[in-house]
């Protein structure tokens, strides 16, 4: 079973703009994306059409949305969300999905994530469910984790328009007199397939709270992340050293495989009561398990509480400047062309193949003597 958290930040866009007393509405594709409190008092809300909003708003400002003014604020709250999962998929600038399946107590970590982001001043609507669409629905209805305990009781009374199915299927259900998700769930898989062909299987799964969409790890880019959770809190130094070594080896393998390195390290230390975010930028790039282990050890040295989990993240990774120890992969013609180019500029003796370098006479004599006497 998967545990997917949906986060929605209310008032995100207007909070990024200068505060004003007059009503302010942010529009996108002829729909209200966000509005400030004075506009809300006039009855304007997110999702409202442009024509209706303009009828309600006589004095104020309509602002067309573009992503640039909100990028810094988006990164700020997503960076906090990264402290709770390695699998984070931004949806819109004010929404995202977090996969919390790997955590032993997803509900606790979901509540911690919500609290941490609310400290930025946003009101956060959230939903925790086993599928993306159900998590999104839970967030919109501010139902929290209700669907995890009572999926059928939660979704069956709701209207069919809330199911993520085709418009054609919705209209056909309305025509047939089916208005709630529970009525759809009363139909057999065979009946749904007869009516809706290939979509019938999906409709059947959705009506029972199912679905197969996965959360994609899309943020942050240029980042490696690993985590360890423990069955019980650890405080033994030997166990902590082994955990640090395991994390370092995982990250080190990724660095070596991709030929990348970084200087920044973020270590999230989860305790029974709270979590600590430790950050440090190192002078020398980290490109191996050994260097990563040194970094982890430096960050953990002041931690004295029992630890429930560790999450290590290396952001802003770049290609490693590796020393070339051998020529490999190039064709003979490419090598000849490179050598000729250097010789034309710097002279024929500037570069030679190893096979073209003459062997000293004494080395040749010694080789012949060894071959003749059999001495080695």
Q: What is the pLDDT of residues 161-183, one digit of tens each?
A: 999 999 999 999 999 999 999 99
pLDDT for 320 equals 86
Domains, the chain, ordered by start: 4-147 (3.30.70.270), 153-207 (1.10.150.20), 224-319 (3.30.1490.100), 332-373 (no CATH)
Q: Is pLDDT larger for residue 77 or for residue 302?
A: 77
- Tell me the β-bridge partners of 7: 96, 126
Contact 314, 251 (CB under 8 A): yes
The yes-or-no verdict on residue 204 having pLDDT over 50 is yes
- Residue percentage of the chain with pLDDT more than 90: 69
pLDDT for 354 equals 73
Q: Which residue has the tokens 């939660």?
A: 154
The yes-or-no verdict on residue 278 having pLDDT over 70 is yes
Q: What is the pLDDT of residues 93-107, one digit of tens each?
A: 999 999 999 888 999
Contact 4, 97 (CB under 8 A): yes
What three-state secondary structure class fits 162? helix
pLDDT for 193 equals 93
> Of 53-62, 303-312, 360-369, which range is least confident?
360-369
pLDDT for 324 equals 45
What band does 336 get if pLDDT is binned at 50, 70 and 90? Answer: confident
Task: Give the span between the Cα atoms of 150 and 322, in whole angstroms.
Answer: 55
Cα dist from 87 to 2, 62, 181, whole Å: 12, 36, 30
The two tokens of residue 205 are 């799964």
The two tokens of residue 271 are 């305790």
pLDDT for 65 equals 97
Q: What is the pLDDT of residues 306-329, one digit of tens each?
A: 999 999 999 999 998 755 444 444
pLDDT for 61 equals 93
Contacts of 361 (CB under 8 A, 6+ apart): none
pLDDT for 332 equals 65
Q: How many CB atoms lie within 10 A of CB 155?
A: 26
Task: Give the span between the Cα atoms of 86 and 95, in whole angstroms.
Answer: 16
pLDDT for 341 equals 67
DSSP 180: B
pTM (two decimals) = 0.74
The yes-or-no verdict on residue 155 having pLDDT over 70 is yes
Task: Give the span between the Cα atoms of 286 and 293, in whole angstroms.
Answer: 10
The yes-or-no verdict on residue 122 having pLDDT over 60 is yes
Task: Give the span between the Cα atoms of 37 and 5, in whole angstroms.
Answer: 27
Sign of CA dihedral 138, 142, 147, 153: negative
Closest among 70, 62, 66 to 22, alpha carbons compared = 62
Q: Which residue has the tokens 């501010």?
A: 142
Looking from the CA of 284 toward its CB, the CA atoms found within 13 Å total 8
pLDDT for 328 equals 47
What three-state secondary structure class fits 25? strand
**Arithmetic mean of pLDDT, 145-159:** 94
Task: List the alpha helices (DSSP H) in the chain.
Answer: 12-15, 37-41, 50-56, 71-81, 106-118, 132-140, 146-149, 151-155, 167-176, 181-185, 189-196, 199-207, 237-258, 289-300, 332-346, 361-373
The two tokens of residue 73 are 């604020």
Task: Give the span between the Cα atoms of 283 and 352, in whole angstroms.
Answer: 38
Q: Is pLDDT larger for residue 276 or for residue 345?
A: 276
Q: What is the pLDDT of residues 283-293, one digit of tens each?
A: 999 999 999 99
Mean pLDDT over the full length of the chain = 89
Q: Is pLDDT larger for residue 305 or for residue 351?
A: 305
The yes-or-no verdict on residue 92 having pLDDT over 50 is yes
Q: What is the pLDDT of residues 235-257, one digit of tens each?
A: 888 899 999 999 999 999 999 99
Task: Give the span between the Cα atoms of 313 and 48, in whole angstroms.
Answer: 40
The yes-or-no verdict on residue 211 having pLDDT over 60 is yes
């Amino acid at each position: 079973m998967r545990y997917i958290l949906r986060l929605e930040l209310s008032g995100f866009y207007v909070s990024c703009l200068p505060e004003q007393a007059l009503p302010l509405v942010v529009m996108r594709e002829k729909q209200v994306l966000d509005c400030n409190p004075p506009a809300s008092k006039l009855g304007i809300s997110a999702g409202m059409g442009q024509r209706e909003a303009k009828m309600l708003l006589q004095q104020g400002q309509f602002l067309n949305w573009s992503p640039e003014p909100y990028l810094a604020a988006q990164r700020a709250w997503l960076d906090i969300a990264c402290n709770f999962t390695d699998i984070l998929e931004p949806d819109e600038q004010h929404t995202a999905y977090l996969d919390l399946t790997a955590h032993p107590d997803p509900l606790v970590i979901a509540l911690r994530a919500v609290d941490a982001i609310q400290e930025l001043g946003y009101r956060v609507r959230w939903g925790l469910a086993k599928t993306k669409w159900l998590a999104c629905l839970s967030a919109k209805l501010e139902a929290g984790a209700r669907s995890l305990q009572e999926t059928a009781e939660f979704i069956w009374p709701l209207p069919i328009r809330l199911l993520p199915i085709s418009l054609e299927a919705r209209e056909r259900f309305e025509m047939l007199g089916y208005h709630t998700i529970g009525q759809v769930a009363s139909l057999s898989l065979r009946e749904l397939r007869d009516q809706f062909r290939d979509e019938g299987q999906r409709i059947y799964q959705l009506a029972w709270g199912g679905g197969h969409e996965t959360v994609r790890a899309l943020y942050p880019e240029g980042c490696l992340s690993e985590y360890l959770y423990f069955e019980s809190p650890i405080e033994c130094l030997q166990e902590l050293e082994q955990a640090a070594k395991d994390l370092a080896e995982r990250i080190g393998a990724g660095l070596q495989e991709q030929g990348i390195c970084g200087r920044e390290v973020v270590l999230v230390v989860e305790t029974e009561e709270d979590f600590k975010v430790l950050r440090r930028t190192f002078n020398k790039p980290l490109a191996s398990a050994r260097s990563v282990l040194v970094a982890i050890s430096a960050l953990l040295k002041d931690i004295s509480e029992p630890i429930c989990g560790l999450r290590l993240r290396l952001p802003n990774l770049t290609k490693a400047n590796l020393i070339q120890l051998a020529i490999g992969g190039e064709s003979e013609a490419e090598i000849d062309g490179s050598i000729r180019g250097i010789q034309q500029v710097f002279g024929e003796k500037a570069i030679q193949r190893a096979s073209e370098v003459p062997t000293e006479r004494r080395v040749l004599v010694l080789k012949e003597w060894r071959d003749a006497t059999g001495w080695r």
